């Protein structure tokens, strides 16, 4: 988790002004005519409708940061691939996406370790994390069944997604306590 967090922290320290060719992070996409009820898409979208993107200092984002896009050599990150979703925006957007993907494949302890490591390296506050976790939770909606996954893995991902959404919704509650760490 340390290597993943260190790479992301370093990326987020790059001056966004030197990457003027990158677009701002896109807003939440339009509602589908048939929301993915199995992944709580309607609940996620209703919660996001009631939240605003937290203010931030824009940073360079990978846009799809997860272990499957990281190459390792000798226990060190040697390359990060798949940059077509790179953008400029809130660092917690990348963190939320990485958290969901880590949960899918490595479990809750992995996302907690990753998040703690990222905060230790950056000093980031996590008050806006529930918003970005919910944004990340929208990504597989309507598409997870098309990923060609083994049935057991897909079932695991669906269960873990449900828990991730519940924790993010609880953390994003009506009056979240400032400074609360939703790890």
**Which tens digits make up the pLDDT trace of 66-79?**
999 999 999 999 99
**Alpha-carbon 162 to chain mean position:** 15
Distance (Å, whole) CA 166 – CA 74: 37
Distance (Å, whole) CA 118 – CA 22: 23
* 124 has pLDDT over 80: yes
Distance (Å, whole) CA 47 – CA 170: 10
Average pLDDT, the chain: 93
Average pLDDT over residues 10-31: 95
User: Using an 8 Å Cβ cutoff, are 58 and 13 in contact?
Assistant: no
Helix (H) or strand (E) holding 80: strand 76-80
Domain ranges for the chain, please list them.
2-21+36-171
CA atoms within 13 A on the CB side of 54: 19
Min mean pLDDT across 73-82, 123-132, 170-179 is at 170-179
Residue 171 confidence class, pLDDT cut points 50, 70, 90: very high
Query: Tokens 């790059």 sit at which residue?
Result: 14
Beta 59-61 vs 87-89: how paired, if at all? antiparallel
What is the structure's pLDDT at 98?
Answer: 98
Distance (Å, whole) CA 161 – CA 71: 25
Q: Of the CATH numbers 3.30.70.3270, 3.40.50.460, 1.10.1740.10, 3.90.1200.10, which one belongs to the domain with range 2-21+36-171?
A: 3.90.1200.10
In 3D space, the residue among 64, 31, 76, 80 whose CA is nearest the CA of residue 136 turns out to be 64
Residue 82 confidence class, pLDDT cut points 50, 70, 90: very high
- The torsion of the CA quartet 91, 92, 96, 102, rounded to 10 degrees, works out to 60
């Amino acid at each position: 988790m340390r290597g993943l967090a260190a790479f992301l922290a370093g990326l987020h320290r790059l001056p966004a002004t030197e990457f003027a060719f990158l677009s701002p992070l896109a807003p939440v996409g339009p509602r589908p005519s048939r929301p993915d009820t199995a992944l709580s898409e309607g609940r996620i979208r209703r919660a996001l409708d009631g939240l605003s993107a937290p203010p931030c200092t824009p940073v360079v984002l990978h846009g799809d940061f997860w272990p499957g896009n990281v190459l390792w050599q000798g226990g060190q990150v040697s390359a990060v691939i798949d940059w077509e979703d790179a953008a400029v925006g809130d660092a917690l957007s990348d963190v939320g996406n990485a958290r969901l993907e880590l949960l899918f494949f490595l479990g809750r302890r992995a996302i907690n370790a990753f998040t703690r490591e990222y905060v230790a390296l950056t000093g980031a506050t996590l008050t806006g994390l529930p918003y970005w976790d919910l944004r990340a939770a929208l990504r597989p909606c309507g598409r997870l069944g098309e990923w060609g996954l083994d049935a057991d893995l897909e079932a695991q991902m669906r269960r873990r997604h449900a828990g991730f959404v519940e924790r993010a919704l609880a953390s994003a509650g009506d009056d979240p306590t400032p400074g609360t760490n939703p790890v």
